[in-house]
Amino acid sequence: MAQNVQQWFMAVDVDRSGQISVQELQKALALGNLHFSLAVCRHLIRLYDKDQSGQIGLNEFVDLHGYLVQCQQTFYQHDRNRAGYLSPPDVWNAVQSAGYRLDTPAFEASMRAFDPDRNARFELAEYIAFTLFLRSAANTFQGFDQARESRVHLDFNQFVYAAANCR
């Protein structure tokens, strides 16, 4: 394990509990200029909380940290003019390269959902929140698509369950 990841974990675990809570994660990411709502931090924890403790231990943190680094790399690869934000075509290329095959209506609707001020600029935190959504959408969809037909049939309760799992 990289020494600096372990050091970062210890710095984030302010109360020395050996676990990172949602509040500790939110504060630490904000220090790195990544401002996320508690809901997004909770989403991030949910994806990496393998033992379902509700918090992030050191081994879980290694994977979570790896994901953030990977998002950051993709973001900067597509921010060619170093503006600090991605335009919609940049985001399109970035999500394509991350393996999500969206059609135009799905892409535009999800872009609007993750650009609440509609300025068509995606800063790193917004881009990460968007990719979290896509990941959970893909995971949830695959959970229902047991036959691997790329098509699911949901009743209302299943739809609510699916939608709640994507955020």
User: Is residue 139 part of the contact set for Ca ion (CB under 5 A)?
Assistant: no
122 pairs with which residues across the strands? Answer: 86
Q: For residue 105, with 0-12 CB atoms within 10 Å meaning exposed, 13-18 middle and 19 or more buried, which class applies?
A: exposed
- Which of 2, 6, 15, 35 binds Ca ion (CB under 5 A)? It is 15
Q: Residue from 26, 34, 44, 49 that binds Ca ion (CB under 5 A)? A: 49
Q: Which stretch in 18-26, 99-107, 117-125, 152-160 sits in contact with Ca ion by CB under 5 A?
A: 18-26
Nearer to Ca ion, 40 or 86 (CB): 40
User: Can residue 73 be called a binding residue for Ca ion (CB under 5 A)?
Assistant: no
| CA 65 and chain centroid, separation | 11
Residue nearer to Ca ion on the CB measure, 22 or 132: 22
Closer residue to Ca ion, CB minimum distance, 15 or 108 = 15
Neighbours of 61 (CB within 10 A): 22
Nearer to Ca ion, 20 or 86 (CB): 20
Backbone angles phi, psi at 86, to 5 degrees: -105, 140
Tokens of 142: 């695959």
Q: Which of 81, 80, 69, 83 lies closest to 131 in space, CA to CA? A: 69
What residues make contact with Ca ion under the rule CB under 5 A? 13, 15, 17, 19, 49, 51, 53, 57
